[in-house]
Amino acid sequence: MDHRLWGGRFAAPNAEEMRRYNDSFRFDRRLADVDITGSVAWAGALEQAGLISAEECEALTQGLELVRREFADGRFEPKPGDEDIHTAIERRLHELVGEPALRLHTGRSRNDQVATSLRLFAIGAARQVGERIQGLQLALVEQAERHADTLMPGYTHLQRAQPITFGHWCLAYVEMLERDRQRLEDATARARTLPLGAGALAGNSLGVERERLTEALDEFDAVAANSLDAVADRDFVAELLFAFALTGVHLSRLAEDLVLYSSAEFGFVELADEYSTGSSLMPQKKNPDSMELLRGKSGRLLGNLVTIMTVLKGLPLTYNKDMQEDKEPFFDSLDTLDLGLQVAAAAVATLVARPERMAAALDDSMLATDLADELVRRGVPFREAHGKVGRLVRRAMELHLPLRQLPIAEYQAVQPDLGHEVYALFDPARSVARKDSLGGTAPQRVREQVARWRDLLA
């Protein structure tokens, strides 16, 4: 028996290579659970519209739940005619309940069916990724609390800039990841528009009340207002793939920092053995491969975003078979990011910071701004103070001395009222403590941020 959902007007079956090219069951089988959820709701809508009896609705619901269990238990057996998940479920449903299964597709198209299933899946996927992001945020907050006072160099242009704390560095990524979580929530809000009941493109004429479907499918809070757009819209896929890709970019930046910081040249942190690998030739090597993979796989996430944007850019309304290409990039990005976030969270939670190496990387030149600020406190305009301190830095370089060892006469040559108290400025802990503006790197501010994040992430 031919189980395809179409074909009555065709005199010949698809060629074998066309069948393999067209079939999507191998990847869209992941939609089984949400597709069944949508079908259960549709059966209820058909009963409410008087298109099937209560007994038929009950048979369909029970049969669909049996199919759901077969997928969940790994017992579902696909057959050669199962060109996609929708065909496979309806075929199996017919085997289980007989004639009522032939009525399930009444007033429904695969166009609105798959749009509904993919939205349901995407909403769950966004929630899952959001939880993974939260796990990484919590790991970073734990490290921030542990190292609120741990001094390290802050960098601009990858050049030493000003002292900060390692805790403050950790919290920068927490902020970044929070924007990622918010983007997911924002995109999900627009995905909660129900296309079911739009038919192939023009709506349905059988009296199905679409508004009542949102009661059965509570992930949705609105009904698509235009049936053409309902089946053609894949903006939610593009938006979520963008959110996934930007999260991947942020993971790549985190990874790049940790690749640098775990190198012998920096030595600021050591990754746990469980999240490192070795060399097949050099026995001494400990490579930060977890971080390098995070960095590398961000390109994959970006590629999947480009794929969906390219697929959509030239499509006429409404549904086109090109749109079958929305699922594999989405599934791949979901899997890539989900596992990457788990690895990142565990690697951050288990890394060991090396405060002594961080402190050793601090030098007097990083306190030049503190010296300029001191001149500002004495009434010197900042632009003039900047120039004076620049001359002191140059003089220290000429004498091959750190700033703290520059003779007082050199200081007084550029600012006569400076005395020996100037040398107290060359204390990184003091410098950091004075950065106590809201959001600053001062340890008390870091602890405030940690407390805030613990409340927000609880």
Residue 2 binned pLDDT confidence (cut-offs 50, 70, 90): low
Which residues have CB under 8 Å from 284's CB, separation 6+? Answer: none
Q: Annotated catalytic residue: which of 157, 205, 280, 420? A: 157
pLDDT score, position 4 = 64
d(CA 119, CA 193): 8
Cis-peptide, bond into residue 318, ω within 30° of zero: yes
pLDDT at 1 over 50: no
> Which pair of tokens denotes residue 94?
């017919």
pLDDT score, position 13 = 86
Q: Annotated catalytic residue: which of 252, 279, 386, 420? A: 279
pLDDT one-digit tens code per residue, 412-452: 999 999 999 999 999 999 999 999 999 999 999 999 999 99
Average pLDDT of the segment spanning 191-209: 96
pLDDT at 135 over 90: yes
pLDDT one-digit tens code per residue, 29-63: 999 999 999 999 999 999 999 999 999 999 999 99
d(CA 64, CA 124): 20
67 membership: H or E segment, kind and range? helix 54-73
Determine contact, residues 354/270, Cβ cutoff 8 Å: yes
pLDDT one-digit tens code per residue, 301-340: 999 999 999 999 999 999 999 999 999 999 999 999 999 9
> Which pair of tokens denotes residue 53?
């009896």
Q: Whole-model pTM?
A: 0.94
d(CA 28, CA 78): 12
For 247, the 3-state DSSP assignment is helix
pLDDT one-digit tens code per residue, 342-361: 999 999 999 999 999 999 99
Ordered alpha helix ranges (H), 313-367 = 327-350, 355-360
157 is catalytic: yes
> Which pair of tokens denotes residue 64?
């669909």
Q: What percent of the chain has pLDDT over 90?
A: 94
53 is catalytic: no
pLDDT score, position 7 = 64
Nearest C-alpha neighbor of 30 from the set 338, 340, 342: 338
Domains of the chain: 16-106 (1.10.275.10), 111-360 (1.20.200.10), 364-457 (1.10.40.30)
Query: Scanning the structure block, which residue is given the tokens 């951050």?
Result: 348
Nearest C-alpha neighbor of 164 from the set 455, 444, 441: 441
Residue 14 binned pLDDT confidence (cut-offs 50, 70, 90): confident
pLDDT score, position 5 = 67
Nearest C-alpha neighbor of 172 from the set 445, 368, 429: 445
